[in-house]
Structure 1
Amino acid sequence: MFFIPQRVLVCKYLVLLTKKVVLLRTKLLYFFYLIFLMISSSVFGQNVSLYRQFNGRYDFTFVGNTLNPLENSYQPVPTILTSSSATLSLNSGDVIENAYLYWAGSGTGDFNVKLNNVDIVPDRTFSIIQTSSGLPHFSAFSDVTSLVQSSGNGTYTLSDLDLTSLIAEYYNNRTNFGGWALIVVYKNNALPLNQLNIYDGLQAVPNEINILLDNLNVIDNQDAKIGFLAWEGDENIRVSENLFINSALIGNPPLNPANNAFNGTNSITNSSQLYNMDLDIYNVENNIRIGDTEATIRLTSGQDFVMINAIVTKFNSQLPDATVSIDDYTLDCNVREIPVTFTVYNLDSTNPLPANTNISIYAGDQLVGTNTTPAILGIGESVTLTQTITLPPGIPNTFTLQIIVDENGAVTELLETNNEDFQIINLMVSPSFNNIPEVEACNLGLEPVYFDFSAYEEAVTTTSFQTVTFYENLSDATLGINNIVNTTNYYSASLPKEIFVRIEDRNCFAITSFFLKLKNCPPIVYNAVSANGDGMNDTFHIEGLRDVFVNFKLYVYNRWGKEVWQGDNSTPEWDGYIKDGIGSKQAPDGTYFYILYLNDPDYPDALNGYLYLNH
């Protein structure tokens, strides 16, 4: 009756005696594994943290099996299986929501396995090194929801998990193991409203690990439970092996004694032959308090190498969870009234959200609008609202639009830190521009006048992002249609003419204008007259005079101040003949003087000068 304990004792002493040999043999493996870890994961494993949360009428169960035919401390020769099976047995009314497969073992990992002959590859992997031996261990995860939903209750077989080449090496350290587990989340309308959290990672003892389970919201601790997926626990190694929840030692005897929490057991099947892995569920009604938002798991072990891979918690939590999203908003040029569309949700909840839950709308830190939910929002429901907000003058053109639901905390929720959404808003305002003067052209009398204002395309802008177009009327400029194409040679039958300028940037436009005007430019006097009939300079010609200054008077005098000719817009140009009212005679060659009265408000003073006549 004492044979087995003595054998265990001998095995443990052999491990100690051969420790140096084992370490030498594993140095090379450890070196290559360090290279692997630099690529794939941390040497010290991955901290257990929240993976997924479910709120509603949910519960969970474990399904899985070991690949060890015996606990590794009792194997006469190192042996491991490549497949094993377990049975899923859900009750009537249980509907599978999600199913997650974990598999683990010695070494750096076998990541190509089969579940019911379906090829499985991991979505995520975990790895860790046993510090006392330097040996690596692995775990893998795959979401197999579709497969389990289609298969339902029945036998599940994991196969092609082949660790046989490593077992002899790990047997020397008695950490040769392999196994798999399904975490199955199911829904049943007969269940109370619960909050179910799945945490995973890969952390190990000895000597102690502390895991913080956050994102909890305990409203009622009745039927509160916590489940563990752990690897490599040994039934007969119970040196200071204790599990604490919120500093309280827990156990589930006789299956899980308080001093041997991870001992190769399955709480679902009540089996104690789940060699070197554990699927254990504990009732923690007395360890969790109403109002708790987190729990602390502490595992100690003086000798046994235990790895925690996943933790599942289920607490009764009948609360709504109000969230909000800004869906859309409409901006118009120079308009400070903004229609905003937003949606209030009650998605990850376990209770309806009451009607008239308050909604606050802020522009920056200034309240600019309020609203309420118009009706009760059931679990998973939402409502979309549209509200026009008016921005006060002090709100800048760029501001943060923020919408908060249940800002005053009138509704107790599952999570009080997810009640808002925000959006940076850049108002559309007319672009700045440079003022441009009117364009003046010289009056050509009866001849048409053409204008060139092409340079204004660049002159009016203030940034390189602006584009400029020209229009003949304000309506076309506002609509951006029928723009003037030819700005270098533009003709208008009526003057003065207002030209409208549209300046656009990336989101808005501005309109300015300028006038096209005619002006009577100073006439140009050609003061050489060659009255010889050769067709060149035969008359006293003044360019820009006739049909421009229509009321002009022109007088020509000889050097002694005697008038020799006078004319106006109705008389021909002076051809070198003296007009005496009786007849005419040719004026002698020489220098003459003129006085020109333009009779124009812009030119009140007479123009005078000389001219030279020859024949």
Structure 2
Amino acid sequence: MLKKVFFITCYLFLANCIPLNAQDVSLFEQFNGRYDYLAIGNTLNPLENNGNTFCTILESSEASLNINANQTIIKAYLYWAGSGPGDSNVSLNGTPFSADDTYTVDYTTESNVELTYFSSYADITDFIVTNGNGIYTFSDLDINSVLLSNPGYCGNRTNFGGWSIYVIYEDTSLPLNQVSLFQGLQIINRNVGEIEINLNNINVFDNEGAKIGFLAWEGDNALNFGESLSINGNIISNPPLNLADNAFNGTNTFTNSTDFFNADLDVYSIENNIAIGDTSAIIRMTTGDFDDFGIFRADLIIINNIITVLNSKLPDATIRLDNSTVQCNSNSIALDYTVFNLNSTEQLPSNTPIAFYFDGVLIGQSQTTVAIPIGENEIGSIVLEIPEDVNSEITVLAMVDDIGNMTGIVDETDETNNTNTRVIELINSPEIEVLAPLKGCNEGFSTSTFNLYQAIEGNDYHPETIEFYESIEDLENGNDSILDPSSYNNTSIPQTIYIKIPDFPCYRILAFDLIIENCPPRIPQGFSPNDDQTNDWFNIQGLYNVFVDHDLKIFNRHGVLIFEGDNDQPWTGIINRGINGIGNRVPVGTYYFVLNLNDSDYRPMVGWVYVNY
């Protein structure tokens, strides 16, 4: 099943942007599709810092945005920067904005004065989409007070303020591109004359039209000592605007301006500086050299962000573990998952392998069933068997593009975002609740007929929802429940019966024993031994095969013993003792009996029985 999703992702899985706990310029966000970008902005410096009047910052400045009708705005960020520790609240066209985050860097001057510089950014996508093309005025950046309170900025001629808006847009006429936005705040100066920034997580499918853009602060056109910008070891330039030996010179490529004082908003073609198949690029920036008088001179340059636009055709497999279903007292887990192809410029092929792990051990494998287009996903499910004897709370790790040994087979735009975990609680039933035993009268050979429902009489249970089992194994597996609990004959003594009662999300287990008692025999008042198959013998209920050691004596009305019997010989009216009539039936009349149960719990039973034909 495929589900269409809007295709914009941050570097972390499913649109969670990288937390800005470091200030090195690093990958912040990627956009994959028919995308490109443009930037506008302006300085707040009235002149370059090497002029005569420079130690003030303008209250506002403006720039014009012009997006073509066939270009759809996808994302927009406002950047602002300046001298001092920062001002997180500014305005754009009179609308206040607060910083999503702020970066700072420090610079120690020749006179050992430490100066701090900042850059902030805010996501203003909705604002730009709503307002569209036109003039944007930036204001309310309060750093003049910092300049007045700390003369080191102006004294060192490193006071600046400025702003820029980056707009990433979609244009269906464009090739499939990967737009990668890297940001942070890094500095080069007389103390640190060069830095290298490694741009990772890029993919070059075709270098035609490849370009790289920069937003940098404080560069001065007049200070061009050892100043260069290179990519993969090749110095890049954009003459006449940006010369090879003066990369940071207060220019704006988008407007072809040279009065973007103490800031640079530049774009360079890098078709010849990056190769098909490259997955990273090394940016090197330098400043510092000796002037004609042998004095070491250097510009102060603060790099804020770097953006690349490269043709790219690679998928990016990510996975999310969704719902999990567990059965009570079972180590089987039914797991739903979704495979995404979001941060991509190519479809994810079918049969992309998926592996599932618990505690580092492979416990299941699956694969995608169809090719997943850019920006879409596929939903799947799998049943996993967790090893026995584990804690009730477990963590399952899923890895897409994994053949089962942490090895992938699909080249992706990002090889580091293929995993997802889910904590799952296995469900175990509570301890068995023991009920009072259920007692039954011995009906012979230590068996009895029980109404098992009597064990739970007085409790608020619904008979139609409960089940009885002869073993705990049958109960847990749901096998061979007792079909007629109201008339059940025990199979052993004592015998334990188990009750399963639904109790979401699991069930309760109750248990009770069946106990057999030898109940007092029930003696009839007479019988008729006439061979009519009805009441033909002295049938004492609960005697035979119950009190197996009993003996029975029958006497006539004269007190003469005429019969002796036991468990194997009941009385059918035949005389088997005395001197007369052995083997004959007794005449109609009343006879005296003595029944000795030979059970310590019972005294001998005596009485009269009437024989009639």
TM-score tier after normalising by the smaller chain length = 0.5 to 0.7
State the Cα distance separating 1:99 from its structure 2 match: 0.9
Which secondary structure does the structure 2 equivalent of 1:161 belong to?
coil
Which secondary structure does the structure 2 equivalent of 1:74 belong to?
coil
C-alpha distance in structure 2 between counterparts of 1:606 and 1:514, whole Å = 31
State the Cα distance separating 1:185 from its structure 2 match: 0.8
C-alpha distance in structure 2 between counterparts of 1:125 and 1:259, whole Å = 31
Which secondary structure does the structure 2 equivalent of 1:175 belong to?
coil
Segment drifting more, 427-436 vs 134-143 = 427-436
Residue aligning to 2:187: 204
Residue aligning to 2:417: 418
1:89-488 paired onto structure 2 within 5 Å: 89-132=66-109, 133-167=113-147, 169=151, 170-206=153-189, 207=192, 208-302=194-288, 303-335=298-330, 338-361=333-356, 365-366=361-362, 368-374=364-370, 376-387=371-382, 389=383, 391=385, 401-408=396-403, 409-431=408-430, 433=432, 438=437, 476-477=466-467
Flag the 1:504–1:319 CA change in 2: closer, same or farther, 3 A: same
Flag the 1:435–1:190 CA change in 2: closer, same or farther, 3 A: same
Asked if structure 1 preserves the Cα contact closer than 8 Å seen for 2:466 and 2:501, the reply is no
State the Cα distance separating 1:187 from its structure 2 match: 0.9
TM normalised by structure 1 equals: 0.66
State the Cα distance separating 1:277 from its structure 2 match: 0.4
Which secondary structure does the structure 1 equivalent of 2:466 belong to?
helix
What amino acid sits opposite 1:89 in the alignment?
N
C-alpha distance in structure 1 between counterparts of 2:83 and 2:200, whole Å = 30
What amino acid sits opposite 2:326 in the alignment?
L
Segment drifting more, 73-82 vs 50-59 = 73-82
Cα-to-partner distance string for 1:408-433 (whole Å, 9 max, x where unaligned): 54433212333343434444345554
C-alpha distance in structure 2 between counterparts of 1:265 and 1:216, whole Å = 27
What amino acid sits opposite 2:466 in the alignment?
D
Asked if structure 2 preserves the Cα contact closer than 8 Å seen for 1:473 and 1:500, the reply is no
State the Cα distance separating 1:202 from its structure 2 match: 1.5
C-alpha distance in structure 2 between counterparts of 1:258 and 1:196, whole Å = 25
State the Cα distance separating 1:510 from its structure 2 match: 5.6
C-alpha distance in structure 2 between counterparts of 1:125 and 1:218, whole Å = 31
C-alpha distance in structure 1 between counterparts of 2:96 and 2:346, whole Å = 39
State the Cα distance separating 1:190 from its structure 2 match: 0.8
What amino acid sits opposite 1:322 in the alignment?
A
Segment drifting more, 88-97 vs 300-309 = 88-97
Flag the 1:214–1:506 CA change in 2: closer, same or farther, 3 A: farther
State the Cα distance separating 1:85 from its structure 2 match: 1.0
Structure 2: runs of 5+ lacking an equivalent: 1-19, 289-297, 443-454, 470-485, 491-495, 521-546, 553-593, 605-613
State the Cα distance separating 1:180 from its structure 2 match: 0.8
Identity of aligned residues (%): 46
State the Cα distance separating 1:288 from its structure 2 match: 2.3
Asked if structure 1 preserves the Cα contact closer than 8 Å seen for 2:465 and 2:501, the reply is no
Q: Which has the higher helix share?
A: 1
Cα-to-partner distance string for 1:173-192 (whole Å, 9 max, x where unaligned): 21121111111111101111
State the Cα distance separating 1:335 from its structure 2 match: 4.7
Cα-to-partner distance string for 1:416-451 (whole Å, 9 max, x where unaligned): 3333434344443455548889467999xxxxxxxx
Structure 1: runs of 5+ lacking an equivalent: 1-40, 444-455, 458-468, 480-492, 523-548, 554-596, 608-615
Asked if structure 2 preserves the Cα contact closer than 8 Å seen for 1:477 and 1:511, the reply is no
Question: Paired residues, what number?
Answer: 466
Asked if structure 2 preserves the Cα contact closer than 8 Å seen for 1:103 and 1:179, the reply is yes
Cα-to-partner distance string for 1:66-106 (whole Å, 9 max, x where unaligned): 11121011133633311111112233411111111111122
Segment drifting more, 302-311 vs 153-162 = 153-162
Flag the 1:424–1:259 CA change in 2: closer, same or farther, 3 A: same
State the Cα distance separating 1:62 from its structure 2 match: 1.4
What amino acid sits opposite 1:391 in the alignment?
E
Residue aligning to 2:559: none
Aligned: 1:58 with 2:35: yes
Asked if structure 1 preserves the Cα contact closer than 8 Å seen for 2:497 and 2:513, the reply is yes
Residue aligning to 1:583: none
State the Cα distance separating 1:511 from its structure 2 match: 3.4
C-alpha distance in structure 2 between counterparts of 1:165 and 1:495, whole Å = 94
What amino acid sits opposite 2:368 in the alignment?
T
C-alpha distance in structure 2 between counterparts of 1:76 and 1:291, whole Å = 50
Asked if structure 2 preserves the Cα contact closer than 8 Å seen for 1:203 and 1:309, the reply is yes
Flag the 1:77–1:341 CA change in 2: closer, same or farther, 3 A: closer
TM normalised by structure 2 equals: 0.66
C-alpha distance in structure 2 between counterparts of 1:401 and 1:137, whole Å = 45
Residue aligning to 1:508: 506
What amino acid sits opposite 1:603 in the alignment?
S
